[in-house]
């Protein structure tokens, strides 16, 4: 090898030469100080994700917001912070009592931490803490890896998200329409207007309700059980009220609605049918989402889309509504599930389906462990008192060479009917010797069996009868046939 090549391939001389060359280049003005400083700037130094730990949670409540609006901040040992929002109108306490569960944890393990804290959430605003923390975890994970959160959930689907706008309320429908018109002038392309039986409280003959009841239904009574119904006069009043709004904003822009009051199912159906001519984009939560059968009854009876979902916490209740076909549209107020692709949550659906797929499409009748399908079938039948003579309860291969076994039942047997068992030579808890006499053509012979495990338990019932309980089905043969007696 040429000496010049050897010097080039020698590691120490190579870097020494490079250092001298760089110094020389700098001296002659080929590389500036700014160039040299810029080289390490291109290295990703956002964080060391494997060593990232949550060190604190802080809360700030936004003032002068329409509803209580707590924001949370998760601090870490590397200076990164993640932000989340507790749902509007919810208490910051829902997030703060999760602090002890996440301190010292790595926020990049979003899925594991979500499973750890989801037990502390519940429907509606009780979910605010869990969802706010999860939002902050995704924020931290994205910052640690230097990518947007959506990139970790399957990638970006869109550049813009359409928003709809609510607005402050007034009982004058034309003034309400003008307020909505200002939303349109601000650039909103979808509107939402709440209206309900609170508009009818001073209209004689508009409501049929139990005497002394409140229009709000007491607040604690679910809609179908308040006894409040809208009369034809009330339906006509609300229809004219929405028509006045349409006169102001026109028919070209979508107009959704919500908050009708605690009214019965029949009133919901009649009200929705009256709104069909006003082309409402949807009617939301006409009855509580916990009553999917009633929601489906409304949905099947009207042409306006029926929507629910903002108060539902986890996937199971969504799945029930979708499977039943109870609604036309699903809404999720929780920001992660609302803004990120379905792929981000699809794994949870497969978690529920995995055992069923394994059981019905992968395993055979005898593959399952510790109890296969055949044995489970026996257990189910015994629980239903359909059979009581088939044994179950072992993982040993009793069909292998060296095993002998007999079928028995856990059910007690009358001892006096077992005349072939005439001797129990040891008390329960020790080895038992059972002699059995058989009639054979070649004369009388007997079989001596030694029980390796407790086979029988002899008990005396209250009525004085002696019964034998079988404790196990496995034993070994100790001796075979002997000569004539």
Backbone φ and ψ for 230, nearest 5 degrees, come out as: -90, 130
377 close to 371: Cβ distance less than 8 angstroms: no
Q: Which of 262, 289, 313 is the last residue of a domain?
A: 313
DSSP assignment of 427-447 equals -BTB--EEEEEEEETTEEEEE
Same domain, 9 and 55: no
Residue 176: is its pLDDT beyond 90? Answer: yes
What confidence category does residue 333 fall into, taking pLDDT thresholds of 50, 70 and 90? very low
Same domain, 36 and 67: no
Q: In the prediction, which pLDDT does 429 show?
A: 39
What span, in angstroms and rounded, lies between the C-alpha atoms of 344 and 373? 33
Q: In the prediction, which pLDDT does 363 show?
A: 76
Mean pLDDT to the nearest integer, 7-13: 51
Backbone φ and ψ for 469, nearest 5 degrees, come out as: -105, 130
334: in domain: no
Q: In the prediction, which pLDDT does 13 show?
A: 53
Residue 366: is its pLDDT beyond 90? Answer: no
User: What percent of the chain shows pLDDT beyond 70?
Assistant: 64
Mean pLDDT to the nearest integer, 279-288: 94
What confidence category does residue 389 fall into, taking pLDDT thresholds of 50, 70 and 90? low
Q: Cα 380 from chain centroid? A: 28
Same domain, 202 and 78: no
Q: Which of 268, 296, 313 is the last residue of a domain?
A: 313
Same domain, 297 and 413: no
167: in domain: no
Same domain, 202 and 256: yes
Q: Which comes out higher in pLDDT, residue 443 or 413?
A: 413
Q: In the prediction, which pLDDT does 375 show?
A: 75
Q: In the prediction, which pLDDT does 331 show?
A: 59
7: in domain: yes
- CATH code of 198's domain: 3.20.20.120
164: in domain: no
Same domain, 31 and 133: no
Take residue 322 and report the two structure tokens written for it.
């979708």
Lowest-confidence segment of 62-66, 381-385, 444-448 by average pLDDT? 444-448
303: in domain: yes
H/E stretch holding 116 reads helix 110-117
What span, in angstroms and rounded, lies between the C-alpha atoms of 105 and 85? 20
Same domain, 8 and 56: no
- Which domain does 222 fall in, by range? 173-313
- Among 118-127, 244-253, 443-452, top mean pLDDT goes to 244-253
Same domain, 13 and 62: no
Same domain, 224 and 306: yes
Residue 208: is its pLDDT beyond 90? Answer: yes
What span, in angstroms and rounded, lies between the C-alpha atoms of 349 and 336? 16
Q: Angle at CA 225, nearest 5°, toward 220 and 227?
A: 110
User: Which of the 8 DSSP states describes residue 87?
Assistant: P
Mean pLDDT to the nearest integer, 458-483: 43
352: in domain: no
Residue 74: is its pLDDT beyond 70? Answer: yes
373: in domain: no
Q: Which comes out higher in pLDDT, residue 477 or 250?
A: 250
What dihedral do alpha carbons 378, 380, 386, 391 form, nearest 10°? Answer: 30
- CATH code of 93's domain: 3.30.390.10
Q: In the prediction, which pLDDT does 323 show?
A: 85
Take residue 222 and report the two structure tokens written for it.
């679910």
What confidence category does residue 277 fall into, taking pLDDT thresholds of 50, 70 and 90? very high
Residue 458: is its pLDDT beyond 60? Answer: no
Residue 215: is its pLDDT beyond 80? Answer: yes
| Cβ neighbours of residue 483 closer than 8 Å, sequence gap 6 or more | 445
Same domain, 226 and 101: no
End-to-end alpha-carbon separation of the chain, Å? 101
What span, in angstroms and rounded, lies between the C-alpha atoms of 74 and 58? 7
Total of domains in the chain: 4
Please write down the long-range contacts of 392-398, taking CB distance under 8 Å and 24 or more positions apart.
394/473, 394/474, 395/369, 395/370, 396/474, 398/473, 398/474
Q: Which of 132, 147, 162 is the last residue of a domain?
A: 147
Lowest-confidence segment of 106-115, 225-234, 306-315, 355-364 by average pLDDT? 355-364
Pick from 344, 351, 255: nearest CA to 304 = 255
Pick from 405, 382, 192: nearest CA to 281 = 192
Do the bridges between strand 207-208 and strand 229-230 make them parallel or antiparallel, or are there none, so unpaired?
antiparallel
DSSP assignment of 154-215 equals T----S-----B-----S-HHHHHHHHHHHHHTT---EEEE--GGGGTTSTTSEE--TT--T
User: What percent of the chain shows pLDDT beyond 90?
Assistant: 42
What confidence category does residue 319 fall into, taking pLDDT thresholds of 50, 70 and 90? confident
Q: Which comes out higher in pLDDT, residue 55 or 153?
A: 55
104 close to 138: Cβ distance less than 8 angstroms: no
Pick from 245, 124, 152: nearest CA to 193 = 245
Same domain, 27 and 80: no
pTM above 0.85, yes or no: no
295: in domain: yes
Lowest-confidence segment of 14-23, 85-94, 119-128 by average pLDDT? 14-23
Mean pLDDT to the nearest integer, 348-361: 68
What confidence category does residue 484 fall into, taking pLDDT thresholds of 50, 70 and 90? very low
Same domain, 66 and 17: no
Take residue 247 and report the two structure tokens written for it.
């006169």
Lowest-confidence segment of 92-106, 130-144, 460-474 by average pLDDT? 460-474
Residue identified by tokens 């040299």 is 36
């Amino acid at each position: 090898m040429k000496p010049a090549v050897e010097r080039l391939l020698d590691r120490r001389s190579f870097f020494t030469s490079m250092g001298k060359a760089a110094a020389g280049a700098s001296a002659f003005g080929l590389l500036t100080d700014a160039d040299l400083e810029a080289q390490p700037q291109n290295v990703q130094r956002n964080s060391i994700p494997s060593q990232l730990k949550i060190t604190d949670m802080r809360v700030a409540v936004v003032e002068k917001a329409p509803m209580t609006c707590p924001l949370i901040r998760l601090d870490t040992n590397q200076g990164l912070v993640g932000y989340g929002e507790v749902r509007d109108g919810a208490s910051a306490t829902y997030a703060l009592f999760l602090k002890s569960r996440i301190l010292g944890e790595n926020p990049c393990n979003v899925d594991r931490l979500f499973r750890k804290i989801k037990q502390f959430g519940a429907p509606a605003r009780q979910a605010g803490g869990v969802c706010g923390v999860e939002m902050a975890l995704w924020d931290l994970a994205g910052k640690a890896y230097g990518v947007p959160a959506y990139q970790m959930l399957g990638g970006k689907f869109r550049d813009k998200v359409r928003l709809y706008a609510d607005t402050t309320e007034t009982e004058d429908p034309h003034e309400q329409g003008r307020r909505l018109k200002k939303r349109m002038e601000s650039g909103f392309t979808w509107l939402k207007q709440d209206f309900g039986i609170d508009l009818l409280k001073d209209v004689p003959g508009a409501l049929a309700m139990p005497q002394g009841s409140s229009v709000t239904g007491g607040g604690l009574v679910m809609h179908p059980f308040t006894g409040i119904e809208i009369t034809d006069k009330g339906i006509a009043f609300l229809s004219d009220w929405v028509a006045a709004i349409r006169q102001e904003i026109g028919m070209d822009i979508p107009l959704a609605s919500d908050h009708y009051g605690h009214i019965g199912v029949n009133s919901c159906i009649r009200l929705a049918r009256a709104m069909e001519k006003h082309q409402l984009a949807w009617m939301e939560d006409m009855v509580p989402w916990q009553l999917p059968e009633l929601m489906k009854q409304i949905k099947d009876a009207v042409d306006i889309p029926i929507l629910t979902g903002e108060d539902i916490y986890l996937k199971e209740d969504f799945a029930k509504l979708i499977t039943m076909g109870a609604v036309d549209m699903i809404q999720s107020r929780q920001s992660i599930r609302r803004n990120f692709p379905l792929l981000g949550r699809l794994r949870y659906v497969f978690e529920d389906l995995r055992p069923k797929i394994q059981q019905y499409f992968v395993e055979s009748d005898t593959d399952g462990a510790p109890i296969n399908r055949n044995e489970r079938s026996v257990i189910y039948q015994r629980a239903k008192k359909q059979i009581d003579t088939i044994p179950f309860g072992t993982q040993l291969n009793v069909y292998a060479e060296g095993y002998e076994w007999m079928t028995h039942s856990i059910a007690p047997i009358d001892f006096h009917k077992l005349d072939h068992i005439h001797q129990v030579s040891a008390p329960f808890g020790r080895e038992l010797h059972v002699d059995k006499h058989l009639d054979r053509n070649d004369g009388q012979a007997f079989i001596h069996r030694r029980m390796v495990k407790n086979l029988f338990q002899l008990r005396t019932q209250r009525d004085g009868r002696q019964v034998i309980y079988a404790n196990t089905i496995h034993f070994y043969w100790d001796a075979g046939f002997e000569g004539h007696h």
